[in-house]
């Protein structure tokens, strides 16, 4: 989801049977040949002694893992399932110990199996991975036998150089090697970034595509991130890079693959949509009014050349298996597996050995839950234990106490209880004159990465918020800014929540106490914000007056479609968002007087 900057990682290695691949730019590393040969094929054919005409290729895919090696806590760790009687069940899911078991079980009996990811494997990660610049996640993905991934916007959180390190290996330039005598090896799979080029040379930053080969079967993978990546990543993360149109890029490279004799092509796209239901088993192709899928991926899918046989997507953290017609009007599969390793998609691609193409009419696909009632993969358990031991001295420090779950990521309301806590923490920390003199604070909803969960995650006890849990909520450690904005700019920022680039999918800023207004969702565009209802501490906003406004550096740069917030002057840089959050927890809670979930009464919503 749109979020703030943080740990960025990328990896790169050429796919199966890639022996001597030309390097693209400085970032591409070659990878071992034949690394993906896993058995022999069975296929469909007639009679004895005849070579089958087709073989089934199993495509396993997932997206938006965000370094969630351990099962995500609270509501963020559930997937919804709608039963025949209409009841909805929340199923606890995710965790790489279970994802590994699910994928390994799914591969059994499938000699042609390839595993692909739709981006945001790293970035905005919990402390276990984020503290180590996501090296643990890359290591886990290598063990999962991931064959290829697109880059997502979060792969750019720490910039192109760090992305190259995640691909190629080497210890962190500042923090060095984390384990004595061990050097980080980098990713065993290629990160694909077809629509990202270097501004200076115009050359691709990473390999645009790769070809998976086995026993004469060839499938090309083209990977892109959303063109709008610079709008949702800090300026430093995308410095020196250009991001291009997804459709034009994929069509260009599909033509190139076709010319090289690769007729079967899968696009990995870090952009997505919103299905009409959030249940993972929703039938996206049901014909009812309002059914189906909406969002950017629909137009992208409709524009991508029929040469591409299936689209693996991501970014919106939604679960869907939909057919969207290609430009020739033929149905084509578009899939997404929610987030955090809670689901994986199993798609059967029937490969015609004569035409070397996918028989599109026989493509089958379904999402499967990564349940927590299956055996854990022992190699993943030991990986988690190893890194947890290194993280423990920092991760287990108590920061505060809560009396119940305080929902952030798990809240679907425009105003989130945890959003209020974070905004209040920022206002309180930056209100003193020598800290910036803030009068109001804004927090972007995409930067709230988890809930604060009452149930203990380890041995700390129920209700205790550890440093690791606080980090999981605010993993970007963005520096805070306090700036001058006029009342008119402040009003414009509130209107930009529901207009311009944010009109189709509103991004409702979380606001500190004292700021109140009405959001009328029966209206359209900027009119949804009822201007004369906006008040600060009971007084109407004066368009001509200057206000001191606190926000993280990402918002202060105009990120997430808020150009008005980027117009601030007289900037003072404060502590990090995580430090302010932890200071607030310490100041407002004790074991005997824990912090309760705050009321959500700042934004009045008219539906």
Burial of residue 588 (CB within 10 Å: 0-12, 13-18, 19+) is middle
Which segments within 257-342 are labelled E, that is strand?
Answer: 264-270, 274-275, 293-294, 310-313, 319-325, 331-337
How many other CB atoms sit within 10 Å of the CB of residue 242? 14
pLDDT at res. 290: 87
pLDDT at res. 24: 34
Query: Mean pLDDT in runs of 10 for the chain (607 residues)?
Result: 38 31 34 36 52 94 98 94 97 98 98 98 97 98 98 97 97 95 96 98 97 97 98 94 98 98 98 97 92 96 98 98 97 98 98 96 96 98 98 96 96 97 98 98 97 94 98 96 98 98 96 98 97 98 98 96 98 97 98 98 97
Task: Give CA–CA dist 472/582, Å, rounded.
Answer: 12
pLDDT at res. 432: 98
pLDDT at res. 485: 98
Contact 317, 65 (CB under 8 A): no
pLDDT at res. 49: 59
Show the CA angle centred on residue 530, arms to residues 528 and 536, nearest 5°. 130
Q: Give the Å distances, CA to CA, from 28 to 33, 159, 201, 321, 498.
A: 15, 16, 16, 32, 40
| Structural tokens at position 277 | 């239901």
Q: CB within 8 A of 104, min separation 6: which ones?
A: 377
pLDDT at res. 6: 37
Which segments within 279-404 are labelled E, that is strand?
Answer: 293-294, 310-313, 319-325, 331-337, 343-352, 364-369, 398-401
Task: Give CA–CA dist 546/458, Å, rounded.
Answer: 47
Task: Give CA–CA dist 112/107, Å, rounded.
Answer: 9
What are 498-549's pLDDT values in tens digits?
999 999 999 999 999 999 999 999 999 999 999 999 999 999 999 999 999 9
pLDDT at res. 50: 74
pLDDT at res. 40: 38
Contact 406, 597 (CB under 8 A): yes
Task: Give CA–CA dist 441/432, Å, rounded.
Answer: 13
| Phi, psi angle pair for 294, to nearest 5° | -125, 175
pLDDT at res. 41: 43
């Amino acid at each position: 989801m749109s979020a703030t900057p943080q740990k960025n990682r990328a990896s790169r290695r050429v796919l199966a049977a890639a022996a001597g691949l030309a390097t693209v730019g400085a970032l591409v590393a070659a990878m071992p040949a034949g690394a993906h040969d896993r058995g022999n094929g069975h296929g469909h054919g007639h009679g004895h002694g005849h070579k089958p005409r087709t073989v089934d290729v199993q495509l396993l895919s997932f997206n938006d893992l965000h370094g969630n090696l351990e099962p995500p806590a609270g509501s963020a760790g559930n997937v919804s399932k709608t039963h025949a009687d209409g009841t909805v069940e929340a199923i606890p899911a995710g965790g790489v110990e279970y994802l590994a078991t699910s994928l390994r079980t799914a591969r059994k009996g499938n000699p042609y199996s390839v595993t692909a990811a739709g981006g945001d494997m790293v970035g905005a990660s919990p402390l276990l991975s984020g503290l180590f610049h996501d090296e643990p996640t890359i290591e886990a993905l290598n063990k999962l036998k991931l064959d290829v991934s697109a880059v997502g916007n979060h792969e750019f959180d720490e910039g192109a150089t760090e992305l190259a390190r995640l691909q190629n290996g080497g210890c962190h330039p500042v923090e060095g090697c984390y384990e004595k005598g061990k050097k980080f090896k980098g990713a065993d799979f290629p990160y694909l970034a077809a629509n990202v080029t270097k501004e200076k040379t115009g050359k691709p930053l990473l390999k645009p595509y790769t070809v998976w080969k086995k026993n004469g079967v060839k499938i090309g993978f083209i990977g892109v991130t959303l063109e709008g990546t610079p709008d949702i990543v800090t300026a430093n993360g995308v410095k020196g890079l250009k991001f291009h149109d997804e459709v034009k890029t994929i069509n260009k490279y599909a033509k190139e693959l076709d010319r090289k004799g690769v007729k079967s092509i899968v696009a990995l796209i870090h952009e997505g949509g919103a299905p009409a239901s959030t249940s993972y088993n929703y039938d996206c192709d049901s014909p009812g009014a309002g059914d189906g899928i909406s969002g950017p991926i629909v137009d992208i899918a409709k524009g991508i050349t029929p040469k591409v046989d299936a689209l693996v997507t991501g970014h919106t953290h939604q679960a869907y298996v939909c057919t969207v017609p290609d430009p020739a009007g033929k149905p084509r599969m578009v899939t997404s597996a929610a987030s955090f390793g809670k689901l994986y998609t199993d798609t059967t691609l029937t490969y015609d050995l004569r035409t070397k193409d996918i028989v599109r009419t026989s493509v089958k696909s379904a999402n499967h839950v990564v349940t927590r009632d299956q055996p854990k993969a022992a190699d993943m358990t030991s990986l988690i234990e190893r890194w947890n031991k290194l993280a423990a001295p920092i991760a287990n420090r108590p920061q505060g106490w809560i009396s119940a779950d305080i929902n952030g990521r798990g809240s679907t309301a425009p105003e989130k209880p945890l959003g209020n806590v974070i905004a209040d923490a920022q206002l309180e920390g930056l209100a003193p004159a020598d800290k910036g003199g803030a009068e109001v604070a804004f927090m972007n909803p995409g930067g709230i990465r988890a809930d604060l969960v009452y149930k203990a995650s380890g041995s700390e006890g129920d209700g205790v918020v550890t440093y690791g849990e606080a980090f999981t909520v605010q993993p970007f450690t963005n520096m805070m800014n306090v700036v001058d904005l006029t009342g008119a700019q402040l009003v414009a920022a509130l209107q930009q929540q529901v207009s311009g680039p944010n009109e189709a999918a509103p991004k409702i800023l979380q606001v500190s106490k004292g700021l109140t207004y009405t959001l009328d969702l029966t209206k359209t565009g900027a009119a949804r914000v009822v201007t004369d209802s906006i008040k600060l501490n009971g007084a109407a906003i004066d368009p001509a007056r200057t206000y001191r406004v606190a926000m993280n550096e990402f918002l202060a740069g105009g990120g997430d479609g808020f150009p008005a917030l980027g117009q601030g002057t007289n900037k003072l840089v404060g502590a990090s968002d995580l430090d302010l959050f932890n200071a607030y927890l310490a100041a407002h809670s004790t074991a005997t007087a824990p912090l309760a979930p705050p009321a959500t009464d700042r934004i009045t919503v008219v539906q």
